[in-house]
Every structure is written in C-alpha cells, then in structure tokens.
Structure 1
C-alpha cells in the first residue's frame, strides 16, 4: 500500500542555484523500493508525485520533474502516461546493460522519457545507450582525482548534462561547476558561509528582529508594527495577504494594528516570517522552502516530543539561521535571546528539542536509519506531507 511507503525528496539545482527538480527517495516498511508506486491504474501515484515536486517560483505554481530510481524490475514495468512529463528515469548502477535492457531504455526514450544514469562510472557497455542518455549523475564523493577526470573525458563526446551528486559545501559547488557540471545535488545551498565583519542587510536585520519577536512571550502589536515598518515592502505584502482570499475577510484591512486584531498577534508574526522567507532575503529559494517545511513539520510533531508547537516552529526556522545570516550558530544568541534549552538544541542537538530537530532533518533527508524512535515513521511522513503542502500554500499567498 502506498500509505506505507516512506518518501523524501532531495533538490537538484542548476548553476544559478535554481531548483530544477527533486529526486524522490522511497522505500516500503520492509526497506525495499515499492513496485506499486507506478501502478498505472492508480491516480494516487500522480497526486503523490505532484505534491512532493510542486513549488512556488516567481509567484507561479510549478510541478518540477521527479528523478526516480529504477532497478531492472521497475525498468520493465508499465508506466502511467502522466509520467512522461513528470518523471526522469534514473537507472541505478547495478542494472546490467545488455541487449534486453538497452532495447527497453531506447523504447522509454522514444516515448519521451528523460533517461539518467545514477552513480555513474564508465563501463564500455554504456557506449551502446549513450546516444539516448540525457543526464549522467556522478557521485563526486566516490569518484575523485584521476578517476573523475577519466570519467569526464569518456563523456566528452556525448551531448548530455552532467550532474554532481553529494555536493555538500559551496567550495565543492564552485569547484564542480568549473569542471563543467551543470546540475548539482546535495545540501550545499544550506551550508553556512560565515564572512567575518560582514554587515547584515536591512532585510536580514528585520528578519532577525522578527525571529526575536516570535520568541518573545511579551510581544505587543505596537512592537511588531515598529519592526515591520522598517521594511515597507514587508508591510505592503503582509497587508496584501491579510486582504487576500487566504483569509476571506468581510472588510478591507488597511493597518497592521487592524490585522493584529483580526488575526491575532501570533498568526501575524508567523506570516511576517513566511513573507520574509519568500523573496526578501538574498538566499536561495530552496533554502527558504526547506526551512518553512522544517518549521511546519516540527510544529506538527511537537507533542510527541513534549514541545510547544509555537516553539517547535521557531526552532525549525532558527535551525537555518547560520546560513540565512552568515553567522556561526554559536553566536545566534548574541542577536536573539534564546533559552538554554533552545540553544542546546540548535548548537549541540541535545535534549528533547534537539532530538525532534534531528528527527525532522533525518527524515526529510532520507536518513531514516538515524531516527530516534520518539515518533512513528508514519507520523513523520504525515507531518512532512502536510508541511510541504502548507509551504506551497503559504508562499503562494505571500507572492500575491
């Protein structure tokens, strides 16, 4: 049953750090990739894939391609027609390239499917299919030095796209971009780049103050309005959201004070953070998406870790503060007043909050064997699905 399938997604970015697709990582409760995921009679598969690859981009909803692993068995399974435009077939490295599989790969290519070779190292038998291969994925942690250059030399005659897998730092991203890779997979976009003495921009200072206010139990409408007023674009966008169909109010709201009365202070604080993470900071869209999903996912499962939902949401956002603001996580408390419990969770990943944050990150990054067991996998999967949908809806509202 698809309800028992664990799913995660890993972004694939281009050289401009724009997300162009997601690899969908999946397995059933027994640890095996589920063949029923591509049941051609079920529309559930299409809904599921679209929900995990939908994003807001420049104010528009887009469904990006899903890169999915195919073993030999899946390669010969009947695929639903919608998959031609939505799925990139990643042929895993242990699929033998012989007359039978080559014919099937060519058939899928002729139907319009994009073909990718996963964990690629050159084998002479690949020469028989390279003319229909669109993307080659190279594990840059496993293939280094002369072996990497030999692989790139072999691929040079072919018209295909090079994708570097397991790129975890900006230094690696820049290195492989110079080597000719056009696509990149890994969490380099979430890697903090600390620059000594760098002054924070106005929008980042406002964001820091908002996060501090989100953590302030004594926050007031006047205090929040004062912070938001420092960034006129933020104020205008917030009022647009409040007056949009998202809330379907009976009358028009023209001031932030009115918005606080109608929505409540906590709801308005949260929307201020969503808007700040939707186009006002000079960071990648994918990082903003990931932090919103992480925050909402933490909120959804907070009770299972004995945490308050509002604090869990804040923790999810703050877990990326080092990358958002280019400051070491250890120095975050110099800018935002944090409790010892929150600081230990962020810096050391200790305590119940630290365990919760680790589980959310491990689950979303396909590190399911590292889960603590505090929350059931089904609960984490449900929270992740809800969080992805919420992030899309929130960013859609924020783009109005």
Structure 2
C-alpha cells in the first residue's frame, strides 16, 4: 500500500445539487500543485484514483473531471477509465490543432464526455464543438462580451453545457445562472479539499489483475503467462509455490507457462491471494504476513477434514483475514476491490457463515482457548495441533 493524495472540488447544478467532482493531483496534505510535470501528475492521478481502486470513495458515484495533457491524450490514457464516470478536461494551454481534434473525435466515438477547460476564445475551437459536452469558463478571466459571443457560437450545438469556474459570490452565481450556465464551481460553494487515502502498490495491482483473469469459468492461461512474464518477481514467487513440497513433484518446474498449466485455476488463484498478502506495507512486520499464511493453511487443513469441498474457500478466508491490520484500512473497503465469493465476503466482513467458524477456531487456537478448539465434525478425528504445526511449516516455506 502507498499513500495517495488528491484535491477534490465539487461541481454543482443550477439548483445547487451536486453534479460532479474535479480531481487534482497532490503529493502531500499541502493544497498546492506539486513540482511535477503535468504528464506525471495526470498519470499518477489516474493510477491512484482509478487503477488503485479509490475512485468510488473519492466521488461517491458522481462523475469526475480530470485534466489531460496532449501527451496523455495521444497515449490513450483516457481509455483506461470508464466512460460513465470520467469527464475529460482538455487543458486551455493546448493548441486547437488537427491532432488534438482527431483525439477528441475518437474519444467522442468511444462515448466519453469532453470538457474544454478555462475556455479562451479562438476561431479553431468551433471545429471541436460537435464533440464537446461542457465548456468551462473562468469568469474571473473572460468578459461578459466574450461570454455572449460564446453563447451565440454554441447555439447550433444544444448539447453543449456551460460551466462557470471561480464563482465566489451569490451575485455571481445568480448572474451566470441567468445567462444560461448549467454548472458551477468555485469558493462560493466549496474550496478544494485534500484527501489522503491508501492505494494498492504496483505489484498488488498486477496480482489483482491476475485474480480477476482467473475468476472466469475458463481462464485464459496464455494471458496469465504473458502477465507473469512481464513481472519477474511475481513469476519467481509463482515458481517457488509450484515447486513447494506441498505438491510432491518428481521434477522441478522451470517454466512459467508449465507452472501455470500444472497448477490450474484453483491453485493459481490461491497463489495469487498469497502473493497479494505478501506484497504488503513495508512498515509492517514480516510476522504479520507469516501469520496470514499460517491462518490460510490452517483453515484449509481443518476444512479438508470437515468439509473438503470448501477447503479452497477456507484457505482464502484465512489468508485474507488480517488484511485490515496489514493495510491499515477497514476490511470492507479492501475486500470491495477483490474478486471474492459471497461466502468469503460474509466471513471476512460480517463474521458469519460456515467459513467464519474456521476463523473462530483459528482465533481460539492463537489465544490458547483450548477448550473452544473443538472439531467441526464428529465423523473424523483430527489433530488440531498437528494441523497448526503443519501450517506453520508451510508458511515458512512460502516467505521469501
């Protein structure tokens, strides 16, 4: 996990209801644009809010406006983000040339809403109007004469809405509302607030991507292999897992593709969940990751004796049961980003369901409440201590 900062300013409708948020990159609690190039700011903002899975927390289901540089548009960065959430802001510093127009036409075809930011009158912008949804006007920088010209120019394009920026008084709000502006943003409504959150690290994001690929009934193993071939550290850990004593293989596996095929869907998914936990916060002790692995294997071994068909789910439940402590976030916020079954989510978030019983036994064993550590089945005798010792040994083999 890593710290992520963003400045968020609300945008309102003419009736004073919340319409969207503008998201601005920050690298600390200080509410100023950091000394980074605009391209890097856009990339890091996308990485943290969307790829890092924080956008729902930041926008509460509303649309979000994000500034895009020319370079980020040419590199197709907007296509990484959902059309229903994003409003692409074309910066006022960009020249309204043919290359920029071509990018806007393509984004419009894909279903994105495009906003011209801090609109400055220029005859070439009219070529963009058929593909523009919103024009943002800095009312502190543009005269009413130019605004009247803009209103006249967009009359043939009724889908274009006007947004007044830097609205600081009630009188300004009423004035531009009367002129026909649809959206409003500025200190009169709210100043930008800097929010600090935590986002997944790059290795965790790759692991999450792999977990999602593996969730479908028939995973694309070639795609899994290709992703792993680009992530040397994760590939090495996968090979370690595939060659562990658990599988009792005669010959060592020395190929990523062979490891993927031989492990199969279930074991690959278990391995990815293991890697997700071990790519943890550097400030946390390694023992916390080890305890997660012990819990996973312990729950799996207990479940094998009681409910064999649930053993894979029990493994995942145990291994993920300390996510809140590892990442310093509420369990429900973390699990919301993970592709997990309802049974596992119930056990982790609500401590209910059959899988939660295994977590209860694990907790009792760790606390030394021996009288509460009773088998979950009477049809077969199991040694809980033996299962735990075996789990500890397995966990030590998995850690780097």
Q: What is the TM-score when the length of structure 2 is the normalising length?
A: 0.42
- The structure whose RCO (Cα within 8 Å, separation 6+) is larger is 1
Q: Which one has the largest radius of gyration?
A: 2
